[in-house]
Amino acid sequence: MSQDDRKNRVTVDIYGQAYTIVGPESNSHMRHVASYVDEKMREISVHNPSLDVQRLAVLTAVNAVHEYMKIREDAEKLEQELQQKRTE
Amino acid sequence: MSQDDRKNRVTVDIYGQAYTIVGPESNSHMRHVASYVDEKMREISVHNPSLDVQRLAVLTAVNAVHEYMKIREDAEKLEQELQQKRTE
């Protein structure tokens, strides 16, 4: 998702600021993603109250990428297991 | 990963700023995650040169969470398929 000129456009609130996000996904998916990011930023700020918003947002991105890489690894393992089952 | 007092501690550079990230993961994993975030921020900034760093970081988090949700869905489907194969 980005701020370019693709299909759907939705304005969301993340950590008190408005963002217009644009993408081929449904508005409800984009709202869901935005509210997840908002929630994560609030969670991290509770544990790190001295962080400014920029650093908070970067650490939220770091956490999201970490979660993404973990689950991508899980998906790869499942895919391998499934390949084996298919050839059994 | 967070800025609390768990196992490993590594200082990384993301978009020209130093971040100390701490977590039970290996230093190489944490560096890998940081460099992915740095790369994504640079990619998004190329397409949105007027964004300030805070908004850039938030949109990077939005993209990472979107990727995370997509792959989580894939992993759930693979898991279901595997469950079916196990009971066949």
Count of A-B CB contacts under 8 Å:
144
Distances from the Cα of B83 to the Cα of B43, B47, B55, angstroms? 39, 42, 42
User: pLDDT tens-digit profile of B44-84?
Assistant: 999 989 999 999 999 999 999 999 999 999 999 999 998 88
Q: Number of helices (H) and strands (E), helices first, in chain B?
A: 2, 2
Please state the ipTM of this predicted complex: 0.84
Mutate to test the interface with A, among B4, B66, B76 (most CBs of A within 10 A): B66
Between residues A4 and B70, the one the model is more confident about: B70
| Cα(A72)–Cα(B47) distance, integer angstroms | 26
Q: Are B22 and B5 in contact (CB under 8 A)?
A: yes
